[in-house]
Amino acid sequence: MRAARLIKLVLLLQSRPSMTGGELARELEVSERTVARDVLALSEAGVPVYADRGRAGGYRLIGGYRTRLTGLGRAEAEALFLSGVPAALHDMGLADAASAARLKVSAALIPSLGDASASAAQRFHLDAPAWWRSGEPPELLPAVADAVWDDRRMTARYARRGGDEVERDLEPYGLVLKAGVWYLAARAGEQFRVYRVDRFTAVTVGEERFPRSGSFDLPAFWEERAAEFARSILRERVEVRLTPAGARLLPHVTDRRAAEESLAAGAPGDGGGVTVTLAVESLEVAYTQLLALGPEAEVLGPPGLRVQFAEAARRAARLYG
C-alpha cells in the first residue's frame, strides 16, 4: 500500500510544478504528517524532492527528474478508455485505476502538455444517468464487472418482471449503461440475452474462463436489441390528423422513430397538415403523449380514444371559456 502511495506521490509532483502538503494529502487521502514522512522516505531513496518553506511553499521535483514508472497496468489501461464516464468508473469500482492511469499519462507528457487532462475535463463532461433517477449503482455491479473484464463464467439469480426468481449460468460479454440503468449482455446456452443488473439478487463468479466469440460486437448487438425492444412495446395504432406545427412536434412527445416513420408514410392534408397512423405503446400512453399537442392534433381513431379527447376538449373549454 505504501509503495503504491509513494509512486503516486512522485507522479503527482512530476505532472505539476509544485504541490502543497495539503494538496498532496487530499490527493493521496492521508494526513499532511504522512505526506511529510513519505517525502522524507523518497529523499532518502534518492528521489530529488525539494520542500519550499513559507506560505507559498510546497513540494516539487528538482533537476528535471522524471520517473520511468509510467507503464500502464491492464486494469489502468482499460479504465483509461472509460475515463470520460466518471460515474460509470465509480459504479464498477475502477475509479482508483483510472486515476492512476491518468497520472501516468500526465507524467509521460512533456511539461507544456501537463495540463491537458484538466483542460479537457473542464470543457467536456458526460452525465450518463437520466433526470430524477436514483444515483445508487446496483450492489452487485462490481462483481459483474469483474466477470466481464476477466471473461469468467458466472452463476446469477435473476428476478424476472413477474417477481419470480430464476438461476442462470452466464457468459458475461459486456455492460451497457443506458439512461442511468446498467444492462448485461451475456450468452446463456446458445443465445445472447440482455439482463438488468439491478435485478440480479445473487452473483457467483467462477474461476473458469470462457472463450469469447470473435464475431460478437457489443455496440452492434445493443443497437439491434434496443431497436427490437422499441418495436416490441409499440403494440397499438392510432390515427391522427396533424397541423404543420403538430407534425413538427410529434417526434418530441412520442417515440421518435415511430413518429418519423408515421410522418414519412402519412397522407398530406389541407394547409400543409398530414394524417398519420402512429404506433404507440398503449392507448393510455397515447392519450398522455398526444394531449401535449393540444389543438395541433386531432385524434381520428380508435373511437374510444377519440371520445377521451373530445371530453378533454370540452373540459378545457369549460375551464377557459
- Check pLDDT > 90 for residue 44: no
- Check pLDDT > 60 for residue 118: no
Q: What is the pLDDT of residue 131?
A: 67
DSSP, residue by residue, 240-279: EEE-HHHHHHHHHHS-HHHHHHHHHTPEE-GGG-EEEEEE
pLDDT mean across residues, the chain: 82
Q: What is the pLDDT of residue 68?
A: 60
pLDDT band at residue 136 under the 50/70/90 scheme: confident
pLDDT tens string 176-198: 888 778 899 999 988 999 999 99
- Check pLDDT > 70 for residue 219: yes
pLDDT tens string 13-38: 887 778 888 888 888 888 888 988 88
pLDDT band at residue 143 under the 50/70/90 scheme: very high
**What is d(CA 116, CA 103) in angstroms, rounded to the nearest whole number?**
11
**What is d(CA 21, CA 57) in angstroms, rounded to the nearest whole number?**
9
**What is d(CA 282, CA 237) in angstroms, rounded to the nearest whole number?**
8
pLDDT tens string 232-271: 888 899 999 999 999 999 999 998 888 999 999 999 987 7
